[in-house]
Amino acid sequence: MAANSKLERDHEIDVKQMIEKNKQSKSFSQVVEKIVPIMLFLFAIITVLTTVGIVMTLLSETIEFFKRVPIWDFFTGTVLKPMSQNPEFGVLPLINGTIISSLIAMLVAGPIGLMAAIYLSEYASDRVRKVLKPMLEILAGIPTIVYGFFAFTFVTPVIRSIWPDVEATNILSPGIVMGIMIIPMIASLSEDAMSSVPNSIRDGALGLGATRLETTFKVVMPAALSGIIASFVLGISRAIGETMIVTIASGSSKNFTFDITQSMQTMTAYIVEVSGGEAAAGTTIYYSLYAVAMTLFVFTLLMNLLARYVSRKFREEY
Amino acid sequence: MKYIDAEQVSKRMGTRIAKNNLLKSLFFMATLFGLIVLAILIYRVVVDSVGWIDWNFLTGKLSTAAERAGIMGAILGTFWMMLVVAPVTLILGIGTAIYLELYAKKGRFQAIIQTNISNLAGVPSIVYGILGLTIFVRAMEMGNIILAGGLTLSLLILPIVIVAAQEAIRAVPGFLSEASYGMGATKWQTIKNVILPAALPGILTGAILALSRAIGETAPLTVIGIPALIIPFPEGIFDKFTALPMQIYYWTLDSSLVAEYANLAAATIVVLLLLLFVLNSAAIFIRNKFQQRF
């Protein structure tokens, strides 16, 4: 009993010391607890500042540009001659080049990507899918500059040997290669959409005697339509913003034309050309950089918002 | 059953099954199409580079003479730039993810930041180049140095790192942090000692993949204005520089003037792809080796 109370006394001292010690360290850790959230909040704010920075720089310099070139002339002009004595700044040739190259890309990526998605989601066994999907994703990981090299040194010569009218720099070849680059994106997003259609619905159709194909087209795809459309819209947005492939393989002709065998410039390629040419700050060419970038930014932003709207609004819930 | 004409059904069944099988093989070929193109691409690049990758190419200086050109400067430039990108994106990315997942009150403000991040992920890389040119190169008067390029690429891949880190943190089960709170740990102690270590493999995997995206990124660098001139090897983050993708760009553009430049571009692509392959393998290794399943 005596030994026991001695032990208790020892403990009492220990606990008192521990509490004292804890009080001291607590004040430090309490400060940390207060500071950390504030610091992390400041980190999180940087992403907002990035957006504000993008919008502000584009907006202020674009406004400066429109003081020199009327906004109407910019958006309706079909002549773009930034370097000439009497420069003209019509953005339509660039928008035209951007839309045509994106259209070619989607003509390649849309059907092939969707068919690949159908195969992976509806036909492939788990084992086959586990092999094919990561391999397809390698395509998405290859830097765009490598695709540019591929378009310029391989695809263009191949096209020209089949169709001699095609020029050395043309919009067709980078359009096709851009499509190949986008295939994994559409395949992967559409596959996700189709895989999330519950099996019970699929089994219902199959049980009624439908073939896999009929089940896919009449049951699975309608149910996954919002996701499929969203993947297409994101693909278009990606094509609009793609830079290096078109810069390398499509040249810098600013003609307003619909002839896909010719060189055309996209908005992105124009930005590379003008900024790479060290346009002196304060010149109208320099400001045109921002006006074109602003147009590009709005285009892709609208596409991304549209994709999100489609996938939210028309999603089938099960 | 009397409404079903058995004969009619069996007659049609053949074409229906045939159609199914035909389209199945078409879908399969569409899946293979991308892989075939990938094979052609890699084959072409490797064939073009054969005989051009040697010790002198890897360690030499840039040169207008194709036989003497080396890419050490570009390798160093890419290396230094990643030395900027990696810490900046890791600190900002993990910090933002922790804030959004563990501190921010669910509400309008958090929703705004979240929407903003997914919008940023969709902004074309060249627009980031313009931001970098305006803010880092011109307004802060850095000039086209490694730090400016690195910060620009950091902003570009930041959304990817944040989303990856958020997913990794979300995957840490609640009972771990509850156990930590139960032992008397504070919130930050719990995050630092329990949640982050558990989420780290997932975060690192995402970060490495984002980093490999930054290594191959060319468009923002062209806007910032990387000179095509021959410059001394960079020795720190305040030096002017060139990078591997920029070198591929210039050599591809000039290959119509000097045919050998196409070989140099192909050889540089092989080096770049090998680097990306190593990084991606590391990411997969980390994911398989350290990822805990709860």
* B219-237 tens-digit pLDDT: 999 988 887 667 778 888 8
Distances (CA, A) of B224 to A168, A282, B84, B143: 28, 17, 16, 9
Quote the pLDDT of residue A318: 67
Q: Are residue A162 and residue A275 in the same domain, yes or no?
A: yes
Q: Are residue A59 and residue A158 in the same domain, yes or no?
A: no
- CB proximity B83 to A under 8 Å: no
* Out of A44, A149, A240, closest to residue B113 by CB: A44
pLDDT digit string (tens) for B147-187? Answer: 999 999 999 999 999 999 999 999 898 899 899 999 888 88
Pick the CATH number of B56-290 from 1.10.3720.10, 3.30.70.2740, 3.40.50.2300, 3.20.20.10: 1.10.3720.10
Q: Are residue A23 and residue A171 in the same domain, yes or no?
A: no
Asked if the structure places residue A75 within a domain, the reply is no
- Residue A194: band (very low, low, confident or very high) from pLDDT cuts 50, 70, 90: very high
Q: Are residue A155 and residue A17 in the same domain, yes or no?
A: no
Select from A68, A92, A115 the last residue of a domain: A68
Q: Are residue A55 and residue A90 in the same domain, yes or no?
A: no
As a whole-number percent, the residues of chain B with pLDDT over 90 amount to: 44
- Residue A238: band (very low, low, confident or very high) from pLDDT cuts 50, 70, 90: very high
- Token readout for A179 is 């499509």
Range of the domain at A290: 80-313
Task: Examine the pLDDT at A15 and tell me if it is beyond 90.
Answer: no
**What does pLDDT average to over chain B?**
88
Q: How distant is the alpha carbon of residue A56 from its chain centre?
A: 21
Task: Examine the pLDDT at A10 and tell me if it is beyond 60.
Answer: no
Gyration radius of chain A over CA positions = 29
Min mean pLDDT across A132-136, A255-259, B6-10, B160-164 is at: B6-10
Q: Are residue A273 and residue A129 in the same domain, yes or no?
A: yes
Select from A39, A68, A97 the last residue of a domain: A68
Bridge partners of residue B240, in order along the sequence: B145
Q: Are residue A220 and residue A245 in the same domain, yes or no?
A: yes
Q: Are residue A226 and residue A308 in the same domain, yes or no?
A: yes
DSSP sequence for B85-149: HHHHHHHHHHHHHHIIIIISPSSHHHHHHHHHHHHHHTS-HHHHHHHHIIIIIIIS---SBHHHH
Q: Per-residue pLDDT averaged across A82-87, rounded?
A: 78
Q: Are residue A115 and residue A221 in the same domain, yes or no?
A: yes
Task: Examine the pLDDT at B241 and tell me if it is beyond 80.
Answer: yes
- CB proximity A116 to B under 8 Å: yes
pTM above 0.90, yes or no: no
Select from A34, A68, A102 the last residue of a domain: A68
B:127-156 residues touching chain A, CB 8 A cutoff: 127-131, 133-135, 138, 155
- CB proximity A136 to B under 8 Å: yes
CATH number at residue A212: 1.10.3720.10
End-to-end CA distance of chain A, in Å?
Answer: 70
Q: Are residue A39 and residue A111 in the same domain, yes or no?
A: no
B104 contacts on A by Cβ (under 8 Å): 44
The tally of domains found in chain A comes to 2
pLDDT digit string (tens) for A133-164? Answer: 888 888 888 999 999 999 999 999 999 999 88
pLDDT digit string (tens) for A111-140? Answer: 999 999 999 999 998 898 888 888 888 888
Burial A232-256 (b: 16+ CB within 10 A, else e): bbbbbbbbbbbbbbbbbbbbebbeb
Q: Per-residue pLDDT averaged across A56-67, rounded?
A: 91
- Residue B9: phi and psi, rounded to 5, are -60, -50
Residues in Cβ contact with A158 at an 8 Å cutoff, skipping those fewer than 6 apart: none
Instruction: Please give the Cα distance from A275 to B218 (Å, whole number).
Output: 14
- Token readout for A110 is 């849309």
Quote the pLDDT of residue A13: 61
